[in-house]
Chains A and B, each alone.
Chain A
Amino acid sequence: MSDETSLSKSEVEAALTQLSPADWKRIKIRAQTYSKALTYLTADDLVQEALICLLSGDRVWPRYARSVIVVINATHGIASNCREREQLGPIDHRVDISVLSQEYDEEVGTLVIPINEVTPERIAESRGDIESIERLVVNDEELQDVVLVWSLGIRGKDAAAELGWEMNKYEAARKRLTRLLESL
């Protein structure tokens, strides 16, 4: 159902189909960042779940919102919910269980063995704080500076001024950081 404030399901699908290549890349970069900093889910899984939420109507698409922002916000919502479940839920996502024996024994139950597919490094990476991002730029001082000013909420010309850089130096570093996050 559509109304004055939100898109119908068919309008949502049309809006998604019309996303530009640049917007798809923006979504991809954001999903990679969320995947790295917030959850064990992959970037593709996050985007997929966000699209499902939007197409099903579970998540409202505000009629006059910019499409790329709606999808990015939905992806953020999925990542945040996953993070909450990972932290508070009864399942330990760090451990996978493999059945060792197919036979069920009444006394001991089914034999299982834990497999740690998620490494300690991955656990530390996705713990939901700025260190998750800082760890990615540990070998690049300029990128560390960009992460620092962004984590203070400073960007653009203000960020360049704060760092004492020319704008073109800041833009080159911003581009490098964006590519790094995209390539994760």
Chain B
Amino acid sequence: MTDTTKQDELRKFLQTQLEELLEMSDEEILEGSDPEVLKIEGLAMIAAAKATLGSRRMAAAKTAMAIKKASTNPIMSPINIDEARAYLQAAANDSRITIAARSLGEMSDEDVIRIYNQLNKLRQDTNGSK
């Protein structure tokens, strides 16, 4: 017998079983079972399904929020070191910021970019909180 024939037999078996189950009286179906227990188990399954559904919705919302946040964050373009030094030089003349302008020339490129990024972030945060 081919697999297809056997699968077709299972399909017919399932259809026939369903028709029989629906035709059997409730009394016949319930024989040997406690209706109260069946009902309680059923309601518990509904409650569990609702709880799972809630958790999945929450997880999906968090993922969507994370994706949105990632997509709205500005993409940092490569920083030109000369522009970063000029930016810090200008900032050193801003009375609200304390930068030892005289030491700018002695800073490594790495330090300049780090401070440039920190200052940029500080300004974004300050503007955002207004």
Query: Are B9 and A21 within 8 A (Cβ)?
Result: no
Q: Please pick, from A33, A51, A151, the residue contacting B49 in the complex, using a CB distance under 8 A.
A: A51
Residues of B within 8 A of A27 (CB): 42
Residues of A within 8 A of B33 (CB): 21, 25
Q: Please pick, from B7, B16, B36, B45, the residue contacting A129 in the complex, using a CB distance under 8 A.
A: B7
Query: Are B52 and A48 within 8 A (Cβ)?
Result: yes
Query: Are A52 and B53 within 8 A (Cβ)?
Result: yes
Cβ of A29 under 8 Å from chain B: yes
A128-B10, A129-B10 are contacts. A30–B18 as well, Cβ < 8 Å?
A: yes
Chain B residue nearest to A150 (CB atoms) is B16
Q: Please pick, from A29, A66, A155, A179, the residue contacting B16 in the complex, using a CB distance under 8 A.
A: A155
- Docked Cα-Cα span, A22 to B28, in Å, equals 9
Query: Are B39 and A147 within 8 A (Cβ)?
Result: no
Query: Are A52 and B39 within 8 A (Cβ)?
Result: no
> Closest approach, in angstroms, between the C-beta of B30 and any C-beta of chain A?
5
Q: 17 extra interchain contacts, Cβ-Cβ under 8 A, other than A130-B9, A154-B16?
A: A16-B42, A17-B46, A20-B39, A21-B26, A21-B42, A22-B26, A22-B30, A22-B35, A24-B39, A48-B52, A55-B46, A55-B49, A153-B16, A155-B20, A156-B20, A171-B28, A174-B20
Q: Pick 24 A–B contacts, CB within 8 A, sort by A.
A: A13-B50, A16-B42, A17-B46, A19-B42, A20-B26, A21-B33, A24-B42, A25-B38, A27-B42, A29-B21, A30-B18, A33-B14, A47-B45, A51-B49, A55-B49, A55-B53, A66-B22, A129-B10, A132-B10, A150-B12, A152-B9, A156-B20, A156-B23, A179-B32
B interface residues, Cβ below 8 angstroms from A: 3, 6-7, 9-10, 12-24, 26, 28-33, 35-36, 38-39, 41-43, 45-46, 48-50, 52-53, 56
